[in-house]
Amino acid sequence: MIKPNRLQKGDTIGVIAPAGPPKMEKLKQAIPLIESFGLRVQLGKHVDKVHGYLAGTDQQRLEDFHDMIANPTIKAIIFARGGYGTGRIAPFLDYQLVKNNPKIIWGYSDITFLHTAIRQLTGLVTFHGPMLASDLGKEDFDTYSLSLFQQLFDPETLIYSENNSINLNPLQILAPGEAEGQLVGGNLSLLNSTLGTPYEIDVKDKLLLIEDIGEEPYQVDSMLNQLKLSGKIEDANGIIVGDFAETETELTSSLTLEQVFQEYFADLSIPVMSGFNIGHCFPHFAVPLGTKARLSTSRKTLEIEPGVG
């Protein structure tokens, strides 16, 4: 794996929107939080463009991405928001350009498609973390989530544990065990959208992270069934179930989300824990993807090696 260089005060961060169009007022509200780390912010040329549900045309979004990668003064790219659209530009990315210019790439949700494609085609470690307009620009964005950006400056092992002073969710053991491997994954619906494509998620001997938003229990069931039938659940060394937000259903009869997880994970011979504050939630525990991690149900911890060098 290729680890991007750590950030230094005075570095410039590029901000682009490779998927849905951000609300510019929210984006502008978020910029001072990034600047509070001693960083400069440069917006992409097309970040304010709107093309239906996309942040500009495919060509405009692709151009912004390539411009930020090729610009030697840009040390990291933090996306404005997710939404939909990164899968549309994935076939046209210059992956050799990315590999030749490794830098921090940070986002989540629809960005999962880019994380997966970039990691598997270049070996670059990327970061699953909150974005500007959709997260940092919200009034309820918390200081703990903001503090996780510090991992971009100080390459220390991250330890996720429910036994700390932060109000993290209690962790639930769905299947016991200890395992290690590369941490991969992200948004469940986007992971499923890679199946059958050249960017299909590789989870062999890895720790698989899943999270999502706005999916009812039967929809999560359907996506987990697809992962299972495609062999992905069987291939993984362990599974980390992050936050599943806004899962309410209008069905008169439904399994709970917890029941769905039990049915797919309880009988596995690999460790599985749920309840991680990783995903569409606050606090949002940001993590590097592609580095080695260790999952322990006996200690109820997830340890992740640094994502920067």
Q: Active site includes 109?
A: yes
Average pLDDT, the chain: 97
pLDDT band for 102, please (50, 70, 90 cuts).
very high
Least confident of 145-149, 165-169, 269-273: 165-169
Active-site residue among 46, 115, 128, 280?
280
**Residue 155: partners with Cβ closer than 8 Å, 6 or more residues away:** 3, 6, 306, 307, 308, 309
Residue 155: pLDDT above 70?
yes
**Residue 1: partners with Cβ closer than 8 Å, 6 or more residues away:** 119, 123, 124, 125, 182, 290, 291
165-182 mean pLDDT: 91
Q: What is the C-alpha to C-alpha distance for residues 269 and 295, in angstroms, rounded to an integer?
A: 14
Residue 166: pLDDT above 90?
no
Strand-pair category, 272-274 with 238-245: parallel
Residue 72: pLDDT above 80?
yes
pLDDT band for 167, please (50, 70, 90 cuts).
confident
Active-site residue among 211, 215, 216, 305?
211
Supply the pLDDT for residue 168.
Answer: 86
Q: What is the C-alpha to C-alpha distance for residues 279 and 283, in angstroms, rounded to an integer?
A: 9
Q: Which domains does the chain have, with CATH numbers?
A: 12-152 (3.40.50.10740), 158-304 (3.50.30.60)
In one-letter notation, the amino acid at residue 190 is L
E-assigned strand segments in 5-73: 12-16, 40-43
Q: Are 37 and 75 in contact (CB under 8 A)?
A: no
Kindly list the strands in the beta sheet with 272-274, ordered across the sheet, starting from the edge strand earlier in the chain.
158-161, 301-304, 292-296, 178-187, 207-213, 238-245, 272-274, 172-175
96-120 mean pLDDT: 98
Q: What is the pLDDT of residues 190-213, one digit of tens each?
A: 999 999 999 999 999 999 999 999
272-285 mean pLDDT: 96
Residue 163: pLDDT above 80?
no
Q: What is the pLDDT of residues 38-50, one digit of tens each?
A: 999 999 999 999 9
Q: What is the pLDDT of residues 114-154, one digit of tens each?
A: 999 999 999 999 999 999 999 999 999 999 999 999 999 99
pTM above 0.95, yes or no: yes
pLDDT band for 162, please (50, 70, 90 cuts).
confident
- Give the 3-state secondary structure of residue 278: coil
Question: Considering just the CA atoms, what is the radius of gyration of the chain in Å?
Answer: 18
Q: What is the C-alpha to C-alpha distance for residues 215 and 228, in angstroms, rounded to an integer?
A: 18
241-268 mean pLDDT: 95
- Residue % of the chain over a pLDDT of 70: 99
Residue 165: pLDDT above 70?
no
6-24 mean pLDDT: 98
Q: Are 192 and 124 in contact (CB under 8 A)?
A: no
The single residue listed with the structure tokens 């990164």 is: 86
Supply the pLDDT for residue 52.
Answer: 98
Active-site residue among 109, 145, 189, 274?
109
